């Protein structure tokens, strides 16, 4: 059995997965990212301790993080939804807690690997995986293998610019966040859109206006058209909590069929992730499993 920890901007999901892919148990705690790096690291140490207490036979633990992971140093670099996380040596920070080997990978990359080995990607050696949640991330599978890029930052589809006329600093003071897909169709963007439509929803599940989800799907679909054109792919797999919202998948598929270049639209496959909102946990466990196999 392997353990998985999926660090999200809102929640930390963790649990244990059997070699068959079945979830043995899972749990979550609030990330409370605004409390800073030290607070989240202390929470993660507690999570590791809880996992080993409940499942002392773990062979390895994999961790998915919402940021770039350097392919050589394994440093976690600038996750957009985790304040103060700049070049964090997460393996060293948590390695003192246990003798069980720990691996770390970008969360969307990890989920893409999980879907490739055990999920909707089986039988599809080339696909783009997109995770839709607090943020928007992507993982690229080419020839059956994860493509990280030479610096570990391939697949960051949440940073596709969809609004060339956005005012710098209007939504985020960081220039590289201006006009990007994640600002409009990540959870904060969705809630902002709902408020503009007169809804007072504190989370996505409480949004009643179907037009909000249709527009979210349209925006994501447009961003994915760009990503698929650059990569030359025909299959996209969608996971994460927002992908479970009503009308989102349908709107993404409709938008892509209409707006993707014909060579892609004519053979496009838009597939729901097998593990849905659990894709991050399963992907993190797949990272741990890879350590055991290495």
The answer to whether residues 43 and 169 belong to one domain is: no
Same domain, 132 and 238: yes
Residues 6+ apart with CB under 8 A from 53: none
pLDDT given for residue 290 in this prediction = 85
**Is the residue at 289 inside a domain?**
yes
The number of C-alpha atoms within 13 Å of 292 and in the hemisphere containing its C-beta is 15
Residue with token string 């080419």 = 142
| Residue 113 placed within a domain | no
Expressed as residue numbers, the domain containing 198 is 120-273
Q: What CATH number is given to the structural domain containing 100?
A: 3.30.420.40
pLDDT for the residue numbered 294: 58
pLDDT at 181: 97
In a domain, residue 112? The reply is no
Residues 70 and 202 in one domain: no
Nearest alpha-carbon partner for 63 in 111, 21, 7:
7
Same domain, 132 and 229: yes
pLDDT average per 10 residues of sequence, the chain (294 residues): 91 92 92 92 94 94 92 88 88 86 93 91 97 92 95 93 94 91 95 92 89 97 98 96 92 98 98 84 90 72
Residues 165 and 289 occupy one common structural domain: no
């Amino acid at each position: 059995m392997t353990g998985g920890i999926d660090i999200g901007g809102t929640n930390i999901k963790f649990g244990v997965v059997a070699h068959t892919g079945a979830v043995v148990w899972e749990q979550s705690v609030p990330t409370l990212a605004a409390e800073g790096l030290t607070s989240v690291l202390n929470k993660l140490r507690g999570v590791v301790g809880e996992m080993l207490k409940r499942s002392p036979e773990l062979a390895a633990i994999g961790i998915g993080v919402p940021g770039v992971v350097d392919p050589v140093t394994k440093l976690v670099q600038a996750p957009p939804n985790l304040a103060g996380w700049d070049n964090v040596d997460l393996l060293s920070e948590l390695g003192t807690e246990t003798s069980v080997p720990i691996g770390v990978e970008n969360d969307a990359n990890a989920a893409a690997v999980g879907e490739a080995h055990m999920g909707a990607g089986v039988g599809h050696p080339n696909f783009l995986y997109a995770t839709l949640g607090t943020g928007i991330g992507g993982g690229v599978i080419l020839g059956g293998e994860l493509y990280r890029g030479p610096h570990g930052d391939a697949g960051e589809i949440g940073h596709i610019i969809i609004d060339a006329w956005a005012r710098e600093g209007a939504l985020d003071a960081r220039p590289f966040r201006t006009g990007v897909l994640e600002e409009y169709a990540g959870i904060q963007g969705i809630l902002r859109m709902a408020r503009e439509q007169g809804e007072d929803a504190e989370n996505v599940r409480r949004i009643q206006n179907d037009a909000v989800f249709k527009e979210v799907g349209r925006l994501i679909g447009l961003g994915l058209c760009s990503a698929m054109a650059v990569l030359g792919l025909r299959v996209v797999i969608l996971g994460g909590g927002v992908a479970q919202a009503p009308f989102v998948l349908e709107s993404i598929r409709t938008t892509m069929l209409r707006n993707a270049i014909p060579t892609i639209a004519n053979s496009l496959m838009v597939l729901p992730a097998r593990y849905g909102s659990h894709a991050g946990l399963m992907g993190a466990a797949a990272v741990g499993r890879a350590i055991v196999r290495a």
